[in-house]
Amino acid sequence: MPRRPYLSSRLQGFGTTVFSEMSALAVQTGALNLGQGFPDSDGPDEVKQAAIDAIFAGVNQYPPGPGTLDLRTAIAEHQKRFYNMSLNPADEVLVTAGATEALAAALLGLCETGDEVIAFDPTYDSYAAGIAMAGAVLKPVPLRPQADGTFGFDDEELRRAFTTRTRLIMLNTPHNPTGKVFTLSEMQLIAELCLERNVIAVTDEVYEHMVFDGSHIPLAGLPGMRDRTVTIGSAGKTFSFTGWKIGWATGPAPIISAVRTAKQFLTYVNGAPFQPAVAVGLRLGDSYFDQLLVQMVAKKELLCEKLEQAGFGVLAPQGTYFVTADISTVTTKKSLPFCMGLPEEAGVVAVPCSVFYSDDRMGQDHIRFCFAKSDAFLAEAGDRLIAAYG
Ligand code: PMP
Ligand code: GLN
């Protein structure tokens, strides 16, 4: 009798995440890891201290299902302060185990089997898996490099992606892996189509404080969108505590209620002592958020300059802490084999962009570097790339 595969059909094709694979490769080879997106230094001391204090104060049992009221209040205050959006912490804010759980819970809580979910392609890797676990169908809308080095989409392709079966559109701005920041007019089109087609938007705004020109625009702030948008954020990115896994989803009560229903049975709750600490972070003065941005801009410039000197084409990001490099100027290899050989050739780890596309024939000339690293680390990694390819 043929043996049934252990992995369910829903998850066929989803192996180990590229980030774990590449970080393991970095450990194995001792190469400098610019692959997986995490900062190499911790966030603010006062936030760390608040977590330590909470542990010693006995904040170590299950927190309330939707998250502590204080953290939900701090999240609502943050949305008011930065975007002038009003949210009721009682039923419009949900604390999650990172943005990853918020995304999964939104998909599981809002989609029927066979529903279509539109997402811009390439996507952050958990999107396709989350859509598959929800039994939904990914409808990718390609983002393509434009003459000015930014990424753009075709309005008609987006329009055509909306069908009678579309339930959700997922928007990630600033966008991982491309570093694209969606413009107001692009977001107005998305909003117009959501309203016209009665589609819910899930916006992943984990890089909201890393927009290099202008300021972050939340989709929920566009006319008519508040009632149909789930907005997702993460302390991992905003406060450089990726291992704490505190994220959140905000939106209208009936939609958040659906997300919460799914979330209850994924983790139920998480990170009791980290919740008060993240509340401290969200209430930090503007200088914290300003400095984070200034630092990221400097790091972006440092790495982009080195990549250019090494001979790569550089698709300079408008946000996030990632930069896409075009490798076709330095190699005939495609992105995956190039990245597999990179630790040996240059002592550096990067991520092949092909893994982010629904069709892995795409992204073959592109690799992604993370620049949330110390200046010395970035300079050394850059110099190694220059020595190898420059
Ligand atoms: N969305 C995007 C676009 C990301 O880059 C990441 C990775 N941090 C996540 C979601 C997941 O965030 P978290 O670590 O908070 O689960
Ligand atoms: N978001 C990070 C990245 O894009 C990694 C998170 C993860 O490993 N799941 O690299």
pLDDT 10s digits, 104-116: 999 999 999 999 9
- In short, whether 176's Cβ falls inside 6 Å of ligand 1 is yes
Q: Are 52 and 73 in contact (CB under 8 A)?
A: no
Query: Token digits for 216?
Result: 């972050």
* DSSP bridge partners of 201: 169, 229
Sign of torsion over alpha carbons 152, 155, 161, 165: positive
Q: Are 211 and 318 in contact (CB under 8 A)?
A: yes
Proportion of the chain above pLDDT 90, given as a percent: 94
Proportion of the chain above pLDDT 70, given as a percent: 100
- In short, whether 247's Cβ falls inside 6 Å of ligand 1 is yes
The answer, yes or no, to whether residue 354 has pLDDT greater than 90, is: yes
The answer, yes or no, to whether residue 361 has pLDDT greater than 80, is: yes
- In short, whether 172's Cβ falls inside 6 Å of ligand 1 is yes
The answer, yes or no, to whether residue 120 has pLDDT greater than 90, is: yes
Which residue's CA is minimally distant from atom 8 of ligand 2? Answer: 19
Which residue's CA is minimally distant from atom 2 of ligand 2? Answer: 37
pLDDT grade for 19, boundaries at 50, 70 and 90: confident
Q: Which atom of ligand 2 is nearest to the CA of 20?
A: 8
Q: Which atom of ligand 1 is nearest to the CA of 235?
A: 15
- pLDDT for the residue 131: 98
The answer, yes or no, to whether residue 234 has pLDDT greater than 80, is: yes
Cα 174 to middle of ligand 1, angstroms? 12
The answer, yes or no, to whether residue 2 has pLDDT greater than 90, is: no
Mean pLDDT (whole number) for 338-348:
95
Q: What is the distance between the alpha carbons of residues 246 and 206, in angstroms, rounded to a whole number?
A: 11
pLDDT grade for 239, boundaries at 50, 70 and 90: very high
- pLDDT for the residue 32: 97
Mean pLDDT (whole number) for 230-245:
98
The answer, yes or no, to whether residue 360 has pLDDT greater than 90, is: no
Cα 56 to middle of ligand 1, angstroms? 29
Which residue's CA is minimally distant from atom 6 of ligand 2? Answer: 37
* Angle, vertex CA 157, rays to CA 152 and CA 163, nearest 5: 135
Mutate to test the pocket of ligand 1, among 120, 206, 208, 246 (most ligand atoms within 8 A of CB): 206
Query: Token digits for 185?
Result: 């007019």
Q: What is the distance between the alpha carbons of residues 97 and 302, in angstroms, rounded to a whole number?
A: 33
As for ligand 2, residues whose beta carbon falls within 6 Å of it are 17, 19, 36-37, 176
Name the least confident of 49-58, 144-153, 276-285, 373-382: 144-153
Indicate which ligand has the atom closest to the C-alpha of 37. 2
Mean pLDDT (whole number) for 323-338:
97
Q: Which atom of ligand 1 is nearest to the CA of 237?
A: 8
Mean pLDDT (whole number) for 217-230:
98
Please state, rounded to an integer, the average pLDDT across all residues of the chain.
Answer: 97
- pLDDT for the residue 103: 98
For residue 200, the SS3 value is strand
- In short, whether 238's Cβ falls inside 6 Å of ligand 1 is no
Strand 229-234 versus strand 200-204 pairing type: parallel
Residues recorded for the chain: 390
Q: Are 125 and 13 in contact (CB under 8 A)?
A: no
The answer, yes or no, to whether residue 256 has pLDDT greater than 80, is: yes
Mean pLDDT (whole number) for 357-382:
96
- In short, whether 166's Cβ falls inside 6 Å of ligand 1 is no
- pLDDT for the residue 374: 97
- pLDDT for the residue 327: 98
Strands lying side by side in the sheet with 137-142: 93-96, 247-250, 229-234, 200-204, 166-172, 116-121, 137-142
Q: Which atom of ligand 1 is nearest to the CA of 97?
A: 16
Q: Are 112 and 343 in contact (CB under 8 A)?
A: no
Q: What is the distance between the alpha carbons of residues 340 and 352, in angstroms, rounded to a whole number?
A: 9
- pLDDT for the residue 158: 98
- pLDDT for the residue 16: 80
The answer, yes or no, to whether residue 1 has pLDDT greater than 80, is: no
Express each pLDDT in 175-212 by its tens digit: 999 999 999 999 999 999 999 999 999 999 999 999 99
Mutate to test the pocket of ligand 2, among 23, 38, 323, 369 (most ligand atoms within 8 A of CB): 38
- pLDDT for the residue 323: 98
Q: What is the distance between the alpha carbons of residues 325 and 242, in angstroms, rounded to a whole number?
A: 24
* Angle, vertex CA 271, rays to CA 265 and CA 276, nearest 5: 125
Which residue's CA is minimally distant from atom 3 of ligand 2? Answer: 37
Residue 102: CB atoms within 10 Å: 28
- pLDDT for the residue 73: 99
